[in-house]
Amino acid sequence: MERLVLFDIDGTLVRTQNGYVPFNEAIFQSFGIAGDIRTVVPDGNTDPHIVEEIFAAAKVDISIADEHWERFATNLRLSYANAVRKGTMTVRALPGVLELLRALSANKRFGQGVVTGNFAVTARVKLETAGLSSYLRLGAYGSDSPHRPALPSIAKKRWEQATGKSIRAEHCFIIGDTPKDLDAARQNQMKCILVGTGRYPVEELMFWQPDACLSDLVDTAEVLKTLLNLS
């Protein structure tokens, strides 16, 4: 029986350093207003909500139309790509991630994809920079909906369309690093494994009672065993 594993990106698959610089640059380019992502807690949130929270924290009254989000996503993609090229921002796969994605892709019992608050175009920059994009072609993104709990079912549907198979929600797993990943999984009747490689240590994540908690994704055999035990 097949399982679909849906990974969050930031804090779960990769660690980005100095991503705030291109993010703030793209805010100013897109909206003509200075905003600073360091004034909010972005973890587990979608990029559109992060920008709205930044403006709310700065008491900037602005309503953003759909076409402006497209412009912001385009500017952010360019800013990220420039920062990566200049070496001012780094995006690195977290320990064990590449080995885990390889193992899952070689195992016929598993399909894999992403569920992330990043826009699709910026998720691609991060995954390519970290050397993971060939394993994660499919997913749902902050550009599909700013409401994170709407994303898992979009990713599931895309996987079903791409493979021509159907999968039950209880055979889908969200692997993330925040209570928001867990909430999105629960709202879609999916299982959730939280990892302590983001902002929250394992002890704090356990409080939220995910289906399983791991300190990291280093031990491929342990992750696979956890996934199979929960199925």
Which residues sit at the interface with Mg ion, rule CB under 5 A? 8, 10-11, 177
Give the DSSP H or E segment for 19: none
Q: Which is nearer to Mg ion, 47 or 177 (CB)?
A: 177
Q: Which is nearer to Mg ion, 31 or 93 (CB)?
A: 93
Angle between helices 179-187 and 151-163 (to 10 degrees): 60
Which of 138, 37, 34 has its CA nearest to residue 80?
37
Give the DSSP H or E segment for 101: helix 97-105
Q: Which is nearer to Mg ion, 8 or 211 (CB)?
A: 8
Q: Could you tell me the smallest distance in angstroms from the CB atom of residue 199 to Mg ion?
A: 8
Q: Could you tell me the smallest distance in angstroms from the CB atom of residue 178 to Mg ion?
A: 5
Place of tokens 């993010």: 23
Q: Could you tell me the smallest distance in angstroms from the CB atom of residue 19 to Mg ion?
A: 12
Q: Which is nearer to Mg ion, 8 or 52 (CB)?
A: 8
Q: Could you tell me the smallest distance in angstroms from the CB atom of residue 9 to Mg ion?
A: 7
Distances (CA, A) of 143 to 53, 124, 146, 159, 163: 17, 12, 7, 17, 23
Q: Could you tell me the smallest distance in angstroms from the CB atom of residue 7 to Mg ion?
A: 9
> Can you tell me the distance from the alpha carbon of 31 to that of 62, in angstroms, rounded to the nearest whole number?
9
Q: Could you tell me the smallest distance in angstroms from the CB atom of residue 168 to Mg ion?
A: 25
Q: What is the CA radius of gyration of the chain?
A: 17
Q: Which is nearer to Mg ion, 31 or 118 (CB)?
A: 118
Give every CB contact of residue 222 below 8 A, 6+ residues apart in sequence: 214
Give every CB contact of residue 185 below 8 A, 6+ residues apart in sequence: 152, 173, 174, 176, 191, 192, 210
Residue 149 contacts residue 184 (beta carbons within 8 Å) = yes
Q: Which is nearer to Mg ion, 20 or 70 (CB)?
A: 20
Residue nearest to Mg ion (CB): 11
